[in-house]
């Protein structure tokens, strides 16, 4: 009875409301609508703004006012290391709900979504934007700008050359967009452009106050082989290598280093003041001003060879003070050589001051003066008529220069080479390097000249030839050449005679030709000119007109016999047979007596 009563009492109870938390369906729908009104309306594939509510080591929690919060990897905010709770950021809604009911959003996609529009606006307006340097690449840096990657060339990082790009990686920097290639989706930015405007103003102020002789502080910006570029605070000037130091500088790196601060003096600038010449050594006293006042010509000095040239060597006797040793002052020898034959760069040498001009700051030195002058006492070592051995050094058209010893040369005139040979050029007689015996003919000590002879070593054969080839004597000869309508005839003892064309006619009326061997009569003998004129025609014309008993072929019968004997024994005698000729001369002189 009781059970039935309980059941009947619960027949109108709302069991569905109990299962739904005690709310009726209508009430629940009312409350659900009220809750939804408290949430933002979020559509997928749109960019919305959210607030950072939490930051962990790996993630950033974003509240969009939606029923669930979004989570974004923290590396999407690496461009913004100052991100903090409460900051408002843009996100892209990729999905309102994943399989776990989680809202899916992306900050990177949101930035990229509007990036191209923003960079184009920045290019047009010249707006200064902020980007994050992601990494280094060839020739520059990769920068994250609005979520897209832009290129920062190395030349656009700063107004001064940058040697280490890595120091900028991981930093935020301000830029200007300078170029966009929409086709290839390339963006080029510049940090240098931001500071150029400021520097331009500073540059104008600096340039307007420039004056020659003004001393300024600058920083070494660049070093080249020819000089150093100095940053004067937005204006560059050049210190030429010659203005770095009073001494010799092989490379500017010996004097300065990059980023070094220096005081420099303005030497010159052009009308527009775009090229500024600076000096460093001018801030120091000139070394010549400190040179020992007691130093005079003739004094000995020591120094180091700093530069070598073919014509001489520059020796630094004090920092910034150099003297030139000309190659002619390195040796008493008169044969031209180069300075490299005597010295090398870095050699420590002792020298004698030859000239000293303090006003022009020039000095000439010599090292041969430290050695004995070979021309001192030359007369005692090489008296006239003395014989010596020499070495052929070089030729001229008029003779041969030979060396008797180091620093002592002599000349053998072409006429003093041989008694009998007609030499057109000395190279026909000898060659460079030959050893030649000579006789001293004359000495000019003041002019440092010695006249030498070679033929004087032998007796003049023309003294003997005068007795052999007297006018009227007949000798057998061979025509060896034809020149200027005359024949050159080879006579005994290596002597040559000249036969005019009209004297070449033979007995049969024909003219004698080259290589014919005939009798020739001497019609002229000139000892001084070393000339013998002969005739073949005269031989047979005299035979026809003269009686055999009165015909003469020489000065007398004994002379003819002696000549004939020598001709028979020596078909081709040479001029070197002076002994035979001398004996013949003595014999003829004795017979004459």
Asked which of 3-17, 203-217, 296-310, 354-368 is least confident by mean pLDDT, the reply is 3-17
Handedness of CA 251, 256, 257, 258 (dihedral sign): negative
Does the structural domain 461-592 have CATH classification 2.40.50.140?
yes
Q: How many CB atoms lie within 10 A of CB 22?
A: 10
In what helix (H) or strand (E) does residue 560 lie, and over which residues does it extend? helix 557-569
Domain boundaries 378-456, CATH class = mainly beta
- What is the pLDDT at residue 354? 93
CB 478 within 8 A of CB 439: no
pLDDT surpassing 60 at residue 571 = no
> CATH for 126-195?
2.40.50.140
- What is the pLDDT at residue 590? 54
Write down the domain spans for the chain.
2-38, 47-110, 126-195, 209-283, 287-370, 378-456, 461-592
Task: Kindly report, residue by residue over 497-552, the tens digit of the pLDDT.
Answer: 999 998 999 888 888 999 999 999 999 998 877 889 999 999 888 644 333 333 33
Task: Kindly report, residue by residue over 133-148, the tens digit of the pLDDT.
Answer: 999 988 899 998 887 8
Q: Do domains 126-195 and 209-283 have the same CATH topology?
A: yes
Helix (H, G, I), strand (E, B) or coil at 111: helix
Tell me the pLDDT band of 118, cut-offs 50, 70 and 90: confident
Tell me the pLDDT band of 249, cut-offs 50, 70 and 90: confident
Closest C-alpha among 431, 448, 420 to residue 395: 431
- What is the pLDDT at residue 503? 92
CA 430 to chain centre: 41
Closest C-alpha among 487, 500, 490, 455 to residue 469: 490
Of the segments 149-153, 317-321, 459-463, 541-545, which one has the largest average pLDDT value? 149-153
Rounded-to-integer distance, Cα 408 and Cα 290, Å: 41
Q: Average pLDDT, stretch 433-447? A: 88
Domain boundaries 47-110, CATH class = mainly beta
Fold of the domain built from segment(s) 287-370 = OB fold (Dihydrolipoamide Acetyltransferase, E2P) (2.40.50)
Domain boundaries 209-283, CATH class = mainly beta
Q: Average pLDDT, stretch 324-348? A: 84
Average pLDDT, the chain: 80
Percent of the chain with pLDDT over 70: 82
Rounded to 5 degrees, what are φ and ψ at 525? -130, 120
CB 145 within 8 A of CB 119: yes
Rounded-to-integer distance, Cα 243 and Cα 252, Å: 10
pLDDT surpassing 70 at residue 11 = no
CB 159 within 8 A of CB 191: no
Tell me the pLDDT band of 68, cut-offs 50, 70 and 90: confident
Q: Average pLDDT, stretch 295-311? A: 89
Tell me the pLDDT band of 34, cut-offs 50, 70 and 90: low
CB 490 within 8 A of CB 571: no
Tell me the pLDDT band of 226, cut-offs 50, 70 and 90: very high
Rounded to 5 degrees, what are φ and ψ at 213? 90, -10
Rounded-to-integer distance, Cα 365 and Cα 325, Å: 5
């Amino acid at each position: 009875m009781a059970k039935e009563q309980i059941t009947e009492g619960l027949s109108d109870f709302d069991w569905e409301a109990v299962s739904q938390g005690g709310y009726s369906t209508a009430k629940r729908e009312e409350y659900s609508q009220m809750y939804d009104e408290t949430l933002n309306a979020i559509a997928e594939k749109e960019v919305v703004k959210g607030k950072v509510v939490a930051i962990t080591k790996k993630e950033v929690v974003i509240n969009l006012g939606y029923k669930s919060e979004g989570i974004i990897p923290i590396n999407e905010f690496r461009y913004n290391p100052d991100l903090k709770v409460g900051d408002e950021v843009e996100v892209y809604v990729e999905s309102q709900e994943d399989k776990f009911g989680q809202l899916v959003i992306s900050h990177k996609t949101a930035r990229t979504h509007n990036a191209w529009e923003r960079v184009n606006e920045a290019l047009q307006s010249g707006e200064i934007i902020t980007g994050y340097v992601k990494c280094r690449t060839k020739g520059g840096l990769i920068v994250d700008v609005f979520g897209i990657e832009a290129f920062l060339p190395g030349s656009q990082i700063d107004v001064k050359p940058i040697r280490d790009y890595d120091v900028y990686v991981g930093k935020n920097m301000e830029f200007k967009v300078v170029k966009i290639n929409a086709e290839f989706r390339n963006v080029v930015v510049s940090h240098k452009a931001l500071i150029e405007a400021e520097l331009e103003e500073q540059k104008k102020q600096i340039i307007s106050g420039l004056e020659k002789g003004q001393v300024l502080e600058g920083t070494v910006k660049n070093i080249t082989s020819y000089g150093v570029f100095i940053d004067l605070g937005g204006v560059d000037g050049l210190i030429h290598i010659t203005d770095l130091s009073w001494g010799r500088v092989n490379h500017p790196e010996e004097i300065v280093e990059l980023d070094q601060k220096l005081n420099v003096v303005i030497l010159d600038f052009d009308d527009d003041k775009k090229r500024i010449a600076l000096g460093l050594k001018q801030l120091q006293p000139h070394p010549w001003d400190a040179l020992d006042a007691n130093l005079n010509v003739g004094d000995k000095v020591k120094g180091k060879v700093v530069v070598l040239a073919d014509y001489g060597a520059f020796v630094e006797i004090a920092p910034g003070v150099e003297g030139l040793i000309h190659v002619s002052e390195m040796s008493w020898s008169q044969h031209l050589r180069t300075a490299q034959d005597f010295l090398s760069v870095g050699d420590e040498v002792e020298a004698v001051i030859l000239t000293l001009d303090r006003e022009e700051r020039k000095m000439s030195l010599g090292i041969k003066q430290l050695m004995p002058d070979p021309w001192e006492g030359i007369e005692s070592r090489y008296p006239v008529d003395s014989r010596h051995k020499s070495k052929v050094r070089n030729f001229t058209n008029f003779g041969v220069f030979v060396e008797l010893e180091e620093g002592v040369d002599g000349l053998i005139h072409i006429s003093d080479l041989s008694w009998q040979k007609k030499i057109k050029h000395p190279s026909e007689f000898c060659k460079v390097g030959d050893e030649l015996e000579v006789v001293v003919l004359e000495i000019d000590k003041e002019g440092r000249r010695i006249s030498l002879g070679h033929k004087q070593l032998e007796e003049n054969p023309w003294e003997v030839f005068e007795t052999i080839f007297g006018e009227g004597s007949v000798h057998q000869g061979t025509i060896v050449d034809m020149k200027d309508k005359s024949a050159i005839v080879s006579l005994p003892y290596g002597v040559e005679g000249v036969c005019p064309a009209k004297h070449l006619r033979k007995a049969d009326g024909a003219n004698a030709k080259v290589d014919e061997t005939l009798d020739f009569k001497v019609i002229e003998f000139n000892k001084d000119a070393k000339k013998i004129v002969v005739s073949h025609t005269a031989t047979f014309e005299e035979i026809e007109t003269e009686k055999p008993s009165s015909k003469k072929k020489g000065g007398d019968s004994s002379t003819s016999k002696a000549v004939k004997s020598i001709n028979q024994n020596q078909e081709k005698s040479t001029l070197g047979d002076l002994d035979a000729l001398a004996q013949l001369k003595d014999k003829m002189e004795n017979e004459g007596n």
